[in-house]
Amino acid sequence: MYRGIAIILLISIITLLSACSGASTSEKIYDHLEKAVTAEKAFEKQQDDIVKLEKEEQKLYSQIIDLSMDEFDKIKSIAVEAIGVIDKRKEKIALEKESIEGSKEEFEKVKELIGELEKEKAKNKANKMYDVMMNRYDAYYTLNDAYAKSLKLEKELYTMLQKEDLKQETLTEHIKKINESYKNVLAANKNFNAYTEKYNKLKKEFYKAAKIEVTYEKKAKKKNE
């Protein structure tokens, strides 16, 4: 039932080294792009916390399946604890979404500036970069929705495990639903990561075309199974 989620984060800038003279529009775009990255710092923090909670829940689930029905009271107790962990994960996911929404709000300010760019190459790169990033946000919302549905199914599982008359076939069928749900999560996550990588590449190309020299710091986070 446990699945790790790999999240590739946005490239962040260490230092703005120089910008060509008269590139005020480019500098404004640069400012919004980097503020969008900063807005996702909380996103990175939530990823670390979610990993820990996922592992905590995995341990609780392992404890449950190692118990017999003679220890039903203990099963119920652990199931209640697991639901508490799921609720914490839901809180983290909500904070993660807030971070992404803040990033999107900042990033959308770039749109009206792109048309003001004088260099056609920089303008083309900026338009491509913008479209890919907006697709990335859409991909995140799909991922977030898929993950939320999986959490709902997991919570239902632990509620079921508190019923002494639970039938094995009912339990097995529900676990299959959870596994199928996490396949959707992994597929959505892969799509989100692909857009993140593509955006990072286009962002570099835009800065190059706009004659903005920067030093990059690339970070990646991965949730291991």
Per-residue pLDDT of the chain (225 residues; tens, 9 = 90+): 334 455 666 666 544 444 444 447 998 999 999 899 999 887 878 888 898 999 999 999 999 999 988 999 999 999 999 999 999 999 999 999 999 999 999 999 999 999 999 899 999 999 999 999 999 999 999 999 999 999 999 999 999 999 999 999 999 999 999 999 999 999 999 999 999 999 999 999 999 999 888 776 655 444 443
What pLDDT is attached to residue 23? 44
Q: State how far the Cα of 76 lies from the Cα of 80, in Å rounded to an integer.
A: 6
**Residue position matching structure tokens 């955006």:** 199
**Residue position matching structure tokens 């008269």:** 22
What pLDDT is attached to residue 81? 97
In degrees, rounded to 5, the angle at the alpha carbon of residue 88 between the alpha carbons of residues 46 and 61 is: 110
What pLDDT is attached to residue 13? 53
CB 20 within 8 A of CB 224: no
Q: Where along the chain do its domains lie?
A: 6-222
Strands (E) in the chain, as ranges, are 6-7, 12-19, 212-217, 221-222
What pLDDT is attached to residue 214? 78
| Domain 6-222 classification at class level | mainly alpha
Q: What is the DSSP letter of 14?
A: E
CA distances from 35 to 13, 29, 122, 148 (A): 10, 10, 20, 27
In degrees, rounded to 5, the angle at the alpha carbon of residue 20 between the alpha carbons of residues 14 and 25 is: 85
**Residue position matching structure tokens 């239902």:** 156
Supply the pTM of this predicted model: 0.86
CB 31 within 8 A of CB 222: no
Strands (E) in 74-223, as ranges, are 212-217, 221-222
CB 216 within 8 A of CB 9: no
